[in-house]
Structure 1
Amino acid sequence: MKSPLPRYTAEELAWIEANCKMSRAELARQFAKKFDRDSATEDQMKSLCSRKGWAAGPEAKRRNSGKSLIFTAAQVKWIKDNRHLSQTVVHQEFAKSFPGTSITAAQIVSYRKRNKILTGRLGRFVKGDAPWSKGRKIGSSPNSKKTQFKPGQQPKNTLPFGTERVRHDGYIEIKVDRENPYTGGRGWYVAKHKHLWELVNGPIPKGHILKSCDGDRSNCDPSNWMAIPRSLAARLTGKSGRDYDNAPAELKPTILAIARLEQAARDRT
Structure 2
Amino acid sequence: MAKGYKINWTDAHIAYIRANQYGITRRSLFEKLVNEFDDLDDNVNFNNMKALISRLELSNGRDGRMVSGHTPWNKGKTGYMGANKTSFKKGMIAINKRPIGSERICQSAGYTLVKVSDTGKRWQHKHKLLWERHHGPIPDNHCIRFIDGNRQNIVLSNLICLPRAVHATLNHHLKPNTKDADLNKTIILAECVRQKVRSKQKGCHDG
> Please, what TM-score do these two structures have when normalized by structure 1?
0.39
Query: Of the two, which has the highest radius of gyration?
Result: 1
> Please, what TM-score do these two structures have when normalized by structure 2?
0.49
